[in-house]
Amino acid sequence: MSEMLDVANIDALKEKIHGSVVGPADSDYDETRTLYNAMIDKSPALIARCADVDDVVAAVNFGREQGLDVAIRCGGHNGPGLGSVDDGLVIDLRGLNSVSVDPGARVATAGGGCLVGEIDTATGEHGLATPGGIISTTGAGGLMLGGGIGHLTRKCGLSIDNILGAEVVLADGSVVTADESQNEDLYWAIRGGGGNFGVVTQLKLRLHPISNVVAGPMFWPLESSADILRWYREFILNAPEDLNGFFAYLSVPPGPPFPEELHLQKVCAVVWCWTGDEEGAADALAEARAQPGLLLDGTQPMPFPALNSAFDPIYPAGDQWYWRADFVESIPDEAVEQHAEWGEKMPTWKCTMHLYPIDGAAHRVGPTETPWAFRNANWGSVMAGVDPDPGNVEAISSWSKGYHEALHPYSSGGAYVNMMMEEGESRVEASYGENYQRLTKIKAKYDPSNLFHVNQNIPPAG
Ligand SMILES: Cc1cc2nc3c(=O)[nH]c(=O)nc-3n(C[C@H](O)[C@H](O)[C@H](O)COP(=O)(O)OP(=O)(O)OC[C@H]3O[C@@H](n4cnc5c(N)ncnc54)[C@H](O)[C@@H]3O)c2cc1C
């Protein structure tokens, strides 16, 4: 426990907060501080489990006045564990998880502590959806404020392209609205700048009429992955925007619904999501089905929230995670060869590499319209080393690093901040590219003392 914190201070915070305050002496401390990535073990001095915006204000003021390092936590899925901090204060937002939907206006209002799945479920009841990620247990707070790549990217853009406004608790404890007409600079900055500018307690999200999709994976043998990737790189960029499909190296999960003879086999895959009319899916996917050696076609009609939670059981909390990422404009033949080589080397069955398309609707937003500078990139790549066994940390990390080093020369420079480890300030700067200076100036206005620095940090211009 930080020496600065005495019992009287903590009691004062407890009195102010409608939620609860958890510290090392509490029986639920370990459960409460545990992060999704079991490789990261952090011991905060205090965790303020906020129930409403007043709690967030009290926690921000407390953290600032006590001189504590302050972390903002939503789903706790951040790779390097930036939703927590040793010896500091965690502002835990999971209590702010209500979602209301205005189907007429096609707008959802979601608490800053929502998981992606909570938003999918609430909007899905109205036959509507907003772009999120591919796993429903990821925090919408972190995912959406950092960018938000998912099954709807080509059709509807990134999550940040669908944020209509936000309620934000600033470093000085004030509560402001950021949207097109109020605090426009803050509205610009939070759409990609993550938790650098304040605690987002509410998001207004644009909804799209998407309810049922035709979706699922197709697998091909590893030996033909170079051919499949060469076909895929042309195909997806020319496909209708109703078709999303991310390319992957993966091992077939060892359980239903996958056929036993494929269990644990390393394959290359494309995970499809067709948002057009169900009848159109056959045509859209015909060319993919015709690629030689197709091992399995798992595409089928399903409600969109079912797709977004289909992979949850493969990736529960508590695995070890190490990942690296890049933005990619094109995939030349030399890069294809490297992919084929490193895909084969996946050291454990949960390791995976994804190439997420970020073209289509995401390309219709200009490179300076949001902090997401790489609007010319066609894919976001991620090499994710994953395994439940802490004994495999070295194997999964060195595979991820080696794969990334081999492919980085073919990338655009910079990476999606939500799929990076703690890789240093220059990597963050490269990821925001031409928008970085503007971000540092907005940071200086809203958080001049860098209270919110436990993140992929954008320091205030000085
Ligand atoms: C299994 C898995 C699947 C993933 N899939 C995808 C995917 O499909 N698409 C994609 O784009 N990303 C994906 N990611 C990456 C994900 O976007 C990041 O890990 C993100 O940081 C997770 O957000 P979180 O709220 O769960 O994280 P947390 O660890 O809770 O928070 C991370 C950071 O986000 C910020 N933050 C969170 N909430 C708020 C808030 N309300 N206000 C201000 N700042 C906030 C803080 O800076 C905090 O440090 C995935 C991650 C995992 C582990």
Is 156 in the same domain as 31? no
- Taking the CA of residue 454 as reference, the ligand 1 atom at the shortest distance is 49
Give the tens place of pLDDT for each residue, 119-174. Answer: 999 999 999 999 999 999 999 999 999 999 999 999 999 999 999 999 999 999 99
Give the CATH number for residue 345.
3.40.462.20
Find the 83 Cα to ligand 1 centroid distance in Å: 8
**Ligand 1 contact, 111 CB (< 6 A):** no
Question: Can you give the CATH number for the domain in which 37 is found?
Answer: 3.30.43.10
Domain membership of residue 165 (yes or no) is yes
Query: Among residues of the chain, what percentage have pLDDT more than 90?
Result: 97
* Position 223 confidence tier, pLDDT thresholds 50, 70, 90: very high
CATH number, residue 168: 3.30.465.10
**1 confidence band (pLDDT: 50, 70, 90):** very low
Q: Look at residue 353 and tell me if it is in a domain.
A: yes
75 shares a domain with 154: no
Quick one: average pLDDT of 363-392? 98
Question: Of the candidates 76, 92, 108, which is a domain's last residue?
Answer: 92
Question: Six-digit token pair at 80?
Answer: 């390097």
- Quick check: is 26 in a domain? yes
Tell whether 233 and 368 lie within a shared domain: yes
Q: Is the C-beta atom of 309 inside 6 A of ligand 1? A: no
Which uninterrupted H or E stretch holds 381?
A: strand 379-387
CB 135 within 8 A of CB 310: no
Please give the Cα distance from 350 to 386 (Å, whole number).
Answer: 5
The residue whose CB lies within 8 Å of the most ligand 1 atoms, and thus the one to mutate among 136, 143, 187, 350, is 143
CA 18 to ligand 1 center in whole angstroms: 25
Rounded Cα–Cα distance for residues 160 and 336 (Å): 30
pLDDT (tens digit, 9 = 90+) per residue, 421-440? Answer: 999 999 999 999 999 999 99
Answer whether residue 5 shows pLDDT above 90: no
Domain that holds residue 128: 99-209
Q: Does 457 reside within a domain?
A: no
* pLDDT reading at 2 higher than 80: no
What are the tens digits of pLDDT across the range 88-98? Answer: 999 999 999 99
Write down which residue in 174, 209, 244 finishes a domain: 209
Do the domain assignments include residue 424?
no
Calculate mean pLDDT across residues 61-78: 97
Mutate to test the pocket of ligand 1, among 138, 203, 396 (most ligand atoms within 8 A of CB): 138
Residue that terminates a domain, selected from 62, 92, 122: 92
Over residues 82-104, mean pLDDT: 98
Q: Does residue 226 sit in the same domain as residue 374?
A: yes
CB of 138 within 6 A of ligand 1: the answer is yes
Q: pLDDT-derived band of residue 6, with 50, 70 and 90 as boundaries?
A: confident
In a domain, 288, yes or no: yes
Residues 203, 239, single domain; the answer is no
* Structural domains of the chain, count: 3
Same domain membership, residue 365 and residue 227: yes
Neighbouring CB atoms inside 10 A of 168's CB total: 26
Instruction: Tell me the CA–centroid distance for residue 165 and ligand 1, in Å.
Output: 19
* Residue 146 Cβ < 6 Å to ligand 1: yes
Q: Do 41 and 175 reside in the same domain of the chain?
A: no
Which stretch of DSSP H or E encloses residue 387?
A: strand 379-387
382 part of a folded domain: yes
Same domain? For 166 and 75 the reply is no
Per-residue pLDDT reduced to its tens digit, 405-419: 999 999 999 999 999
Q: What is the mean pLDDT of the segment spanning 445-458?
A: 98
Domain co-membership, 265 together with 384: yes
* Nearest ligand 1 atom, CA 315: 1
448: its two tokens = 């001049």
Clarify whether residues 80 and 111 are in a common domain: no
Atom of ligand 1 nearest to the CA of 190: 43
Q: Give the model's confidence band at 36: pLDDT under 50 very low, under 70 low, under 90 confident, else very high.
A: very high
pLDDT 10s digits, 346-361: 999 999 999 999 999 9
* Ligand 1 pocket, residue 141 CB under 6 Å: yes
Best residue among 39, 42, 60, 78 to mutate for probing ligand 1, ranked by most atoms within 8 Å of CB: 78
Within this chain, do residues 186 and 203 fall inside the same structural domain, yes or no? yes
Same domain, 204 and 240: no
Could you tell me the distance, in angstroms and rounded to a whole number, from the CA of residue 316 to the centre of ligand 1?
Answer: 15
pLDDT per residue over 243-263, tens digit each? 999 999 999 999 999 999 999
Ligand 1 centroid to Cα of residue 141, in Å, is 6
Q: Could you tell me if residue 5 is inside a domain?
A: no
299-333 per-position pLDDT tens digit: 999 999 999 999 999 999 999 999 999 999 999 99
Letter string b/e over residues 181-214, b meaning 16 or more CB atoms within 10 A of that residue's CB: eebeebbbbbbbbbbbbbbbbbbbbbbbebbbbb
What proportion of the chain, given as a percentage, has pLDDT over 70?
99
3-state SS assignment for residue 111: strand
Q: Locate 42 and state its tokens.
A: 């952090």
Q: How far is the CA of 278 from the centre of ligand 1 (A)?
A: 32
Q: Is the CB of 142 under 6 A from ligand 1?
A: yes
